[in-house]
Structures are given as C-alpha cells and as structure tokens.
Structure 1
C-alpha cells in the first residue's frame, strides 16, 4: 500500500508544472538626436532600463525595444508629429522647435535666467504638467502621454573669436535653437536658427560665427573644434522637452506596463536633473583639455546681458492671451514655483 501511495506521489510530482507565459510587447523608441547627447542616452540607460527592471520583477511582460536613435526615423523638426502620428511609439519631443504647437512650453525660455538649478527647474515643471490643466492639455492634445521631462544645463557662447563682454557680440551671427534666438535681442547679434545636429557645420561653413549652447550638448558634437572660445555666462537652465509615448500605443498597454513606465519616467527626470549638475563642470573642463579656452565674464556681465533684453516674457504672453491661451497665469505659476522652491531669478519676468 505504501508502495502504491509513493508511486502515485512520484507520478504527481512528475507532471509538468503549468507556468504563466510572459507576454512580449514590441515598441519603437526613437529620437532626432544621437545617444551621445546625454539626455537621449539616458532614455536607454535610465527610462528603458528602469522599465525593463520593473517588469522583470513582476514577470508578466517584457518589452522588445526597436531602437531608432540619432535621426534614423525623423529629424529635429519632426519630433512632436512623429510621436503624435505613431511613426515611433516612444520618443523625445524637442519643445524648443515647436513654438506654434507647444506655446506654453516656451515659457521658461521666454523668462531666461530665472534659475541655474536644473533639478529645481524640473521639479517645478513636473508639478506644472501634472497640475496645471492648460500645460497638461497642451501636450495631451497632440495624442501623446508625457512620461519624463528634460531641461538644459547652463548656456554659454561658443565662438570662433574671443569676446570680453556681451557687447562684443554686436554684428556676429550666432546659431541658437528656435526661441533661444530671442536671448540675442538687444545684444546686436544676429540669430541663426539651428540645433545640436547642425551647429558644427554651421560654424565650420561660416553660416554662423558661434553658437549659444550648453556644455553637455557641445562636448559630444565636438563643437570646440570649430568654436574654441567659450565665453562663460552660466546662462540659466530652461525646459527643453519631454520623453513621450503615442496615446494610442499607451491606451493599448496593460496597466502594469503603464505603471512601470510612469515610475521609470519619474526616475529618468530625477536622474537627468542630477546628471545635468554633475556633468556641466566636467564637460567644460574636458573641452579645455581638448583645446578649448574658457573666457570668464566680468562680474555682473550676466545681469547686464539679461537687462539688455526687451520684455520678451510680456511679448510672448500677450499674443497668446489674445488667442485665449492663459500664458500670464502660466508664467506667474512658473515663476512663483521657482521662488517657492528657493530660486532667485535675475529678473522677475512675471512682474
């Protein structure tokens, strides 16, 4: 009898164990910029990796990422429409070049030098995109869901020839992306529309005499080779865009995957902010090692630059208000958010 019971037990144990099959989800992730640009590379190393890590812990879903970084699917002028139309499922949207479609997203760029603290800026913008209905709807009306935010490190001028102060830019052609061309008004410089993928060639071919750019973008594209003089102003950080997912794709994902991506997006935003601070000085020092020369500006020169500018915040907000877009309220919420978090803007653009 014991033999029979033992045989039955062995037979039961020998039966195949029924396991729940892990479902694979195929998603395309893309960008206009290459992964050597830090915030794009961090889509791989932080957003995607964190999503994968969270899902692996649950064991129910796995994402098969089809990667198309560095302009394989679209260029810098099509980052919004490419996510909106599903050319990519996930992508970095470069808000600087979307002034017409993302007007409120230009607020920080039209209120320059409000903060030189990227993590603080990102925290304020994260709160706004979650709680300011106008800002949230501005993004969601384009058939996408925002997952993570990006900002810039600090802006300086990368030039063919040195300057001793802001007034020396008078008459020079300076490349800058979209709305940042406004920062040159009052200086006498002529803005040339451009972005990181075009800067090197712009300067090399004489399209421009230099670039208004950030260290973390200038280093990987080797801008210092053609514009070796870095006039250091430590211009304030601004909001630059978002990692977003096509809304139709999003709605088709299981809730577990959505939650993983939301958590990964917050991790990406926080890590990106810290990275901006840590890498800024490193990038400047590295460019000096590679042959660049940093020109420290005299005390008060940054404030002098800011005060040369017209009321670009008011000029930006006025036409939007006429169209029924609450730019004044958004600007006030942005500036108040910064001040409440401890920032001391060089100029109170909302007042």
Structure 2
C-alpha cells in the first residue's frame, strides 16, 4: 500500500512539475500552423513572414526566454476544416483558422460574409470588424468556453470579385450562366445558377464546362492559373472579408508566463492590421498582374452593383434569423458592423435592413 500511494503521488505531481517547468523554462516550444499553404492567402503569408519571426523576436528581446517555433501549414497537421479541432486537442499550439470552413462553430464570427458589398478596403474592414469583436466579446469568449482555446485576434481576406470565361457588363447578363462559390458566398450568386465548389477544383471545372465562373479575389485567379481557362475578371467589390482567427490551445496558454501571454495578446491584435496591409496590396497588384497576363479586367458600374445588392436585400435578414435560432445576437452584430463601416466612410450600394 505504501508503494502504491507513493507511485500515485509521483504521478499526480508530474503535471504540476510540467506546468512549473514550462513557466520558467529557458526555451518555449510552439507548434503553429494552418490548413492552407504559406503565401497562397494573405493570412498564411503573414503567419509565416510576420507572426512567427516577430513573436520569437519579441519574446527573446523582452523576456529571459528563448523560443523554438515549428510551422506546420498546408495540412501537415490539419486540413482547412480541422484547424480549430487540432488547436483544441493540442496537435497545434497556435492555430491560424479560416472560419469559412467552420460554418457551425464559427458562424457568427464570419458576419462580414452576411453583408456583401461591404468595403473593398481591407484596412477599413479590419477596423470595423475589430470594433465589432470588441463590442461583442462573446464572439471571442466562445473559443475558450466551447473549444478549449484562447482567441488572440482575427484578420481579413482580400476584396472578392468575379472571374468568368465570358464577358458581362450588366447584372442581367449573368442569367443562364453557372457561377461557383464556396461556403456563405455561394448565397451571393443570384441571376446565375450557383454551384458549390472550391478553388482547387475550379480550373478543371471551368475547362470542362461544369461552371463558367467563380467568386474570387484577384490574386487567387492568378495563383490558381484560372486566367488560362477564364480570361475575364470583374472588380465587383463584394468586399474584403474578416473571416480568419488566430488562437492558442488553452492548456498551452495556461503554462506560459504572463509576460509571454501579454506578447501573444499584442501580436494577435496587430496581426489584423499587418494582414490588412497585405490584402490591400494584393488586391491592387492582383488586378495589375491579371492585366499583364492579358486578362480582360473590368469594373462593374455603380448601377450594376446596386442592382446586385438589391437582389440580395433579404439575404442579411435570413442570416440574422439563422443566428437567432442558434441563440446568437446576429442582428445586433450585423447592424453595429454596418454602422461602423459607414462611420469609416463606406457607402452601401443598398442599405440592408436587419431586425
């Protein structure tokens, strides 16, 4: 009995020893990653080029700790649909999550998608979205309460447009054509026939006639070589979208010294602005690169944009009602965000009413 009690006591003490040793360790090891490849999207570009090296730099300059970071992107640990769960379970210490692929767990956090034709300026969207998250902290807290991770910050994707294998000018010109999208933005497709797909399938699908266009940012059109099969890209200005998050596993967080936690908090907050700069730059350069590839790049008229937005006038309310059915404050969040964008200078082509 004495030996058994002694063994039990040692086992029980091991987690406490681990907690103590990590908090005072000379080297902190962090595994961070995402489901997308580095550089394909702005949020993974900044995760790799800014977040990882800057985190190491700040911790080592401002504390006595050293940092060892292992980056695990492009599905090495988790596919785009699995990053939230991988961070929850500790397979990743820090996860860069595309919440588009979390339609249930990240439903309200993708509120910008519920309001198409928001600002095309990623920096404006980021400011408005950060203010919205600050106003409704439950959108952050849910990560810890339900998913065993601490929300550090969010970031955007670049302004969405529409690439096609046919020319069009008026909203009515889309009628009879098949246009693809992914997730919530599939609901933006009206007049045309919507087709659920993803960018990995787009080249072959357009080439074989499964569909004739795809809702996409300009940089992705080049990255996936879609210009080869669809040489038309329209700057529709569906808007930049605040749909990414960076989180840290709760057990890992609890083991870190407070000074390191503070650095992670400030990094998470700053990551949004850094990524917004990249999104804005990519949006402009993407259009120029497509022009250099002889893609017919055009911008729809204000009239066509207003007509499209008006055709979507019931969509935001439908999403708010869906949020309410989940016990979420969708209408309040969406109205706050719309007003905040307006305060920052955005003019909606159609001002949605959400109750």
Which TM-score band applies after superposition, normalised by the shorter structure? 0.7 to 0.9
* TM-score using structure 1 length: 0.86
CA contact (8 A) 1:107 1:313 kept: no
Structure 1 pair 138–300 and aligned structure 2 pair: CA distance change class (3 A): farther
Is residue 130 of structure 1 aligned with residue 134 of structure 2?
yes
Is residue 76 of structure 1 aligned with residue 80 of structure 2?
yes
> Secondary structure of the residue that 1:152 maps to in structure 2?
strand
Structure 1 pair 249–175 and aligned structure 2 pair: CA distance change class (3 A): farther
1:339 Cα offset (Å):
2.2
2:271 to 268, 271, 283: 268
1:183 Cα offset (Å):
0.3
CA deviations over 1:2-46 (Å, ceiling 9, x no partner): xxxxxxxxxxxxxxxxxxx97112211111111122321110111
Which residue is equivalent to 1:172? Answer: 177
Which residue is equivalent to 2:5? Answer: none
Cα separation, 2, equivalents of 1:296 and 1:124: 25
- Number of aligned residue pairs: give it: 329
Which residue is equivalent to 1:149? Answer: 154
CA contact (8 A) 1:159 1:229 kept: yes
Runs of 4+ in 1 over 6 A off after TM superposition: none
Which residue is equivalent to 2:19? Answer: none
Which residue is equivalent to 2:322? Answer: 319
Which residue is equivalent to 2:255? Answer: 252
1:182 Cα offset (Å):
0.7
2:246 to 243, 260, 270: 243
Cα separation, 2, equivalents of 1:72 and 1:223: 26
Is residue 41 of structure 1 aligned with residue 57 of structure 2?
no
CA contact (8 A) 1:173 1:192 kept: no
Cα separation, 2, equivalents of 1:334 and 1:328: 10
Which residue is equivalent to 2:68? Answer: 64
Deviates more, 1:310-319 or 1:22-31: 22-31
Structure 1 pair 178–311 and aligned structure 2 pair: CA distance change class (3 A): same
1:235 Cα offset (Å):
2.0
Cα separation, 2, equivalents of 1:255 and 1:282: 40
Is residue 54 of structure 1 aligned with residue 62 of structure 2?
no
CA deviations over 1:256-300 (Å, ceiling 9, x no partner): 221222222222211111222222111111122123221332342
Structure 1 pair 292–253 and aligned structure 2 pair: CA distance change class (3 A): same
> Secondary structure of the residue that 1:258 maps to in structure 2?
helix
1:315 Cα offset (Å):
0.6
Superposition pairs for residues 210-229 of structure 1, below 5 Å? Answer: 210-229=213-232
Which residue is equivalent to 2:122? Answer: 118
Cα separation, 1, equivalents of 2:226 and 2:154: 25
Cα separation, 2, equivalents of 1:290 and 1:245: 41
> Secondary structure of the residue that 1:294 maps to in structure 2?
strand
Cα separation, 1, equivalents of 2:62 and 2:137: 33
Structure 1 pair 261–338 and aligned structure 2 pair: CA distance change class (3 A): same
CA contact (8 A) 1:134 1:326 kept: no
Cα separation, 2, equivalents of 1:170 and 1:86: 48
Cα separation, 2, equivalents of 1:240 and 1:40: 13
Cα separation, 1, equivalents of 2:338 and 2:85: 29
CA contact (8 A) 1:22 1:59 kept: no
Which residue is equivalent to 2:312? Answer: 309
- Is there any run of 5+ residues in structure 2 with no aligned partner, and where? 1-23
> Secondary structure of the residue that 1:91 maps to in structure 2?
strand
Cα separation, 2, equivalents of 1:216 and 1:145: 31
1:251 Cα offset (Å):
1.7
- Is there any run of 5+ residues in structure 1 with no aligned partner, and where? 1-20
Structure 1 pair 263–212 and aligned structure 2 pair: CA distance change class (3 A): same
Which residue is equivalent to 2:35? Answer: 32
